[in-house]
Amino acid sequence: MTGAAGSLPVLVVGAGPAGLTTATELLRRGVPVRCVDRAQGPSTLSKALGLWPRTLELIRRVGGDELLSVRALPQSQMRYYSDGKVIANLRYRPATRPLICPQPDVEEVLRTNLASVGGAPEWRTELLGFDQLADRVRATLRGPDGTESTEDFSHLIGADGASSTVRDRLGVDFTGSTYELRFVVADVLVDTRLDHRMTHYFCSPRGILVACGLPDGRWRVFTSAPPGLTQDEADLAAVQRLVDERGPGGIALREPDWISVFSVHARHADTTRVGRVFLMGDAAHIHSPAGGQGLNTSVTDAHNLAWKLALVWHGRSGDRLLDSYVSERGDVAKSVVRQADVQTRIWLLRKGHQVALRDNALRVASGLRLFDLAYVPWLAGLRTRYAAEPGAGRGRAGFVPGALVPLPLRSALDDLRHTLLVSDPDAGALRSLVGWCEAELAEVVDVRVVSGLGRRVAVLARPDGHVDWTVKDDAAAMRARLTDLFRPLLRTRQQASGERPRRHGDDGARQAPSPHTEHTDEARQEVQA
């Protein structure tokens, strides 16, 4: 990022999962951040519960294993019932198994990760308004003592929830609808024979009942509310009546920790970017809790924007890169809202022929383990595939543009830089490409030698582990992609050295590394794909 705004911090509004993740990932990448929240302190409400593998992968890049091992409960499967009879078992494989971890514990992990990189949320600090200038955002904040201040920031990120002040100030519509039915949620102790490591879905014409074991021995009970039920009326006795009516019997509730009546919405923001201001998490999309995607989508929103914004802030990539946040995460949000809506409507079917069709479809899919092929990996976040840019190449040796790099290789990649994967770095034009990357782009591109790619194949992986570009016998196309992606950085280096801009075919591409470049032929790492 150039100009007077180059040293300004980013303002993150909201210290929930999206805001904490954004602040952490920006600080890891050398971008100054302020993360503010008008709340008095961390929320104690359990709200979201599920952590899917892709989200865990991103969190664990920074830390959190120790806390999660104590606070989380691994799930074994989902089990569906119709009128009390089991109709489907959706068993998790090790790669798709989620953890049950109440949101306050997840947020504690994320705050610990933020502290490990030198950050902390500023509680009781409220965004009052902001204006966008040519090269900055000017925001007015009210601090804990009531003092108001106006400060400049390079960008502003609205991670401030479904009732987002940022979204409201931008005038962005929150398109969608609210379900006619309301729902009741309770965290309680339960006397039952139900398996504590499963999530149980009891479907009946009388309403949906979901029961999920929590790490502390309690259960989360979730059910559709009868018409007219108010928060004041939703006591333990009322919830017990609903459980008796819709469950299999033999479920006795006691010692509630939390009971709430709430509405369910299916909405998404019409856009998640207006100039230098972005929306993410619940500020950008809300939906039914079906599928447990809310918190997970917030974290992956944050990671997607943070690595891109860091490249732009440092002046290494152009502003156009930030538009891909809007398109990529917008597509994901619409898919999540649609999936949750479909699942919720399936829960609530009442007509006999519809119920029979649902139950038979679930039985067949469960018996053939069809859920393992697509639905459960999608829930786990492992099937997210972003739209590839024109010319990005085709799938090669399991590397598909837009999709995730396969494991275990993905976990070995540098998540602070792009990674150029090659199998034969000394072959023809690839040798020149590798030398150019090591000499000119070492601060943003790591070069790795990988067996199994095929001869004269190169793959570019993004910092988030998604495949950006693939080529075979076309090192010039890969160099063109890297030049386009990092044009501001290359221009700055050329201006500083007084060099003329190089053409893709220049013989001088392979030159001695610059003083800050530590990557040599000997330093390249070989990784098994």
| Overall average pLDDT of the 188-211 stretch | 93
Least confident range of 373-382, 448-457, 502-511: 502-511
- Pairing state between β 457-461 and 418-422: antiparallel
Confidence of residue 3 (pLDDT cuts 50, 70, 90): very low
- Residue 96: strand, helix, or coil: coil
User: Is residue 521's pLDDT more than 70?
Assistant: no
Note whether 199 and 73 are within 8 A (CB): no
Note whether 513 and 442 are within 8 A (CB): yes
Confidence of residue 110 (pLDDT cuts 50, 70, 90): very high
**Of 352 and 152, more confident:** 152
Confidence of residue 207 (pLDDT cuts 50, 70, 90): confident
* Alpha carbon separation from 2 to 5, 303, 444 (Å, rounded): 7, 23, 17
* Angular region, 407: left φ>0, alpha ψ -120 to 50, beta rest: beta
Distance CA(162)–CA(355), nearest Å, equals 33
pLDDT of residue 500: 57
| Overall average pLDDT of the 131-159 stretch | 97
Angle at 315 between CA 280 and CA 304, to 5 degrees: 25
- Residue 367: strand, helix, or coil: helix
Note whether 109 and 124 are within 8 A (CB): no
User: Is residue 424's pLDDT more than 70?
Assistant: yes
pLDDT of residue 402: 97
Beta bridge partners of 258: 187
What percent of the chain shows pLDDT beyond 90? Answer: 68
Beta bridge partners of 20: none
DSSP symbol at 348: T
Would you tell me how many other CB atoms lie within 10 Å of the CB of residue 149?
A: 11
**Of 111 and 367, more confident:** 111
User: Is residue 520's pLDDT more than 80?
Assistant: no
Beta bridge partners of 184: 223, 261
| Overall average pLDDT of the 354-368 stretch | 86
pLDDT of residue 499: 63
Q: Concatenated DSSP letters for 460-521?
A: EE-TTSBEEEEEES-HHHHHHHHHHHTHHHHHHHHHHHTPPPPPTT-GGGS-PPPTT----T
Would you tell me how many other CB atoms lie within 10 Å of the CB of residue 113?
A: 24
Q: Concatenated DSSP letters for 112-162?
A: HHHHHTT--EEET-EEEEEEE-SS-EEEEEE-TTS-EEEEEESEEEE---T
| Overall average pLDDT of the 85-106 stretch | 93
Query: Cis link prior to 408 (omega < 30° from 0)?
Result: yes
CA 206, 208, 213, 214 dihedral sign is negative
| Overall average pLDDT of the 270-295 stretch | 92
Note whether 460 and 454 are within 8 A (CB): no
Phi, psi (5° rounding) for residue 322? -70, -25
Closest among 113, 446, 167, 435 to 303, alpha carbons compared = 113
- Alpha helices per DSSP H over 322-386: 323-347, 352-367, 375-379
pLDDT of residue 359: 86
User: Is residue 294's pLDDT more than 90?
Assistant: no
Least confident range of 51-55, 66-70, 252-256, 503-507: 503-507
pTM of the complete model: 0.90
Closest among 231, 240, 150, 233 to 188, alpha carbons compared = 240
